[in-house]
Structure 1
Amino acid sequence: MDDHSRLDRWDRRTDLPLGIASLVFLSSYAVHVLEPNLPEAVHAVLLSLTYTTWAMFAVDYAVRWRLSREGPGFVRRHWLDTVVLVLPLLRPVRVVRTYEAMQRRHGEPRMGLHARVAAYSALSISLLGFSGALAVYQAERSAPNANIRTFGDSLWWTCSTLSTVGYGDYVPVTTLGRFIAAGLMACGLALLGTVTGSFSSWMLQRFSGSENDGRPPEN
């Protein structure tokens, strides 16, 4: 059995467990951030779940690197996995990949290409926005001179940042908060560009099809 076959088998076996691990990570992190008054033992369990899922992703990354036999080129070719490993808050986006893999296993996807792009982008931006809001809220809520004091403020700020509107009524003041903001801006631009490009392509195809329907056939 060659390396690519082993890598494909590993991916098929780990897609669903890692997708579940992503949701466990998001859930444990959300409870840890949003419920600070829970007993210390509960927070210890939540942090243990968070770090355990991180370890699962690290093991998966190491195994896939070894099976690929690509050396340092693996980092460039699988940049999303690299980013997810380095930035834990992006792990919930792994659910999108899991959903895509499950669709492939059941044959042809039910939705067309443009609909899938829009659906996956919406799911990705929702997961990313919720994770980013949690991280910014944790970083900003007790910082001096911060104006993001509630999770509602953080959600509103995240929505305006991902949509590239940027009202300026709420701004992060900590270094970590600004670093997260820069990442959300970049991701927001990328995802919005993907949706806009897909919608434009769909519109062009629709109008092109309408024009061809009313045109006499060429000899």
Structure 2
Amino acid sequence: MDDDSPVNRWERRVDAPLAVASLLYLAAYAVLVLGEGLPRTLVDGCWAVLAASWAVFAGDYGVRWRLSGQGVRFVRRHWLDTLVVLLPLLRPVRILRVYDAVQRRRGGPRWPLQARVMLYAGLSALLLGLAGSLTVYGLEHRAPHATIRTFGDSVWWTCSTLATVGYGDVTPVTPAGRLVAVVLMGCGLALLGAVTGSFSSWLMQRFAQPGEE
């Protein structure tokens, strides 16, 4: 697909609005989860923001599906976008598309591939960690026999899960919480592999002798 394809033109237009929708989603969700005794109007407003952000992502997905002309193959080839629509946990990651959108508009030099991969992986881990901590805290802190009672417990558990350490001192007990754990484990493995591979590639390029590359 070239840069002038309908899909790419559409993506250039909506990258920034989708990033704003991601930030609004994360902020509204944080207010709902961490807020206690909120006014009913504020709660309703947060739910409206969550619904609107989902509508924005679903609308963008539908437009790109139609513009691609790929039919069902679009779902397979754009599986990450499909997961972003289906799993709210992953929506904040769309914020990372802003960097590419800004660089395309400015036409300036971009960072080396390895640096961009490590940057994206680090920011993805941060955003996923925050969204995962909020989600698990909301699901777990009032559950019977829960070990994740505070938001700090949730942050600690999320960090150890994304890092694939898994101390086991606090663990989710609800089915939904364990499903979130599976998603975070998979994301943690993928992000850790991306950073390790990119860093190794960067080291090899830096220390390679002339003629060895």
Deviations 1:164-194 (A, max 9, x none): 1111110000000000000000000000000
CA separation in 1, counterparts of 2:188 and 2:103? 25
- Other-structure match for 1:95: 95
* Equivalent runs, 1:1-219 vs 2, <5 Å: 5-208=5-208, 211-212=209-210
CA separation in 2, counterparts of 1:191 and 1:33? 26
* Offset at residue 8 of structure 1 (A): 2.0
* Offset at residue 110 of structure 1 (A): 4.1
SS of aligned partner of 1:13 = helix
Runs of at least 5 residues in structure 1 that lack an aligned partner in the other structure: none
CA separation in 1, counterparts of 2:119 and 2:30? 24
CA separation in 1, counterparts of 2:35 and 2:158? 20
TM norm structure 1: 0.92
* Offset at residue 5 of structure 1 (A): 2.7
CA separation in 1, counterparts of 2:148 and 2:127? 20
Alpha-carbon RMSD across the aligned residues, in angstroms, is 1.6
* Offset at residue 163 of structure 1 (A): 0.3
Quickly say closer, same or farther: Cα 1:109–1:168, change in 2 above 3 A.
Answer: farther
2:33 counterpart letter in structure 1: V
Count of aligned positions: 210
Quickly say closer, same or farther: Cα 1:169–1:75, change in 2 above 3 A.
Answer: same
TM norm structure 2: 0.94
Deviations 1:119-177 (A, max 9, x none): 11111110011000000000001000001011000000000000011111100000000
* Offset at residue 39 of structure 1 (A): 1.1
2:69 counterpart letter in structure 1: R
Runs of at least 5 residues in structure 2 that lack an aligned partner in the other structure: none
* Offset at residue 41 of structure 1 (A): 1.5
SS of aligned partner of 2:5 = helix
CA separation in 1, counterparts of 2:101 and 2:5? 16
CA separation in 2, counterparts of 1:72 and 1:92? 25
* Offset at residue 106 of structure 1 (A): 1.6
SS of aligned partner of 1:147 = coil
CA separation in 1, counterparts of 2:201 and 2:9? 35
CA separation in 2, counterparts of 1:109 and 1:198? 19
1:42 counterpart letter in structure 2: L
CA separation in 1, counterparts of 2:183 and 2:88? 13
CA separation in 2, counterparts of 1:61 and 1:52? 14
CA separation in 2, counterparts of 1:170 and 1:19? 32
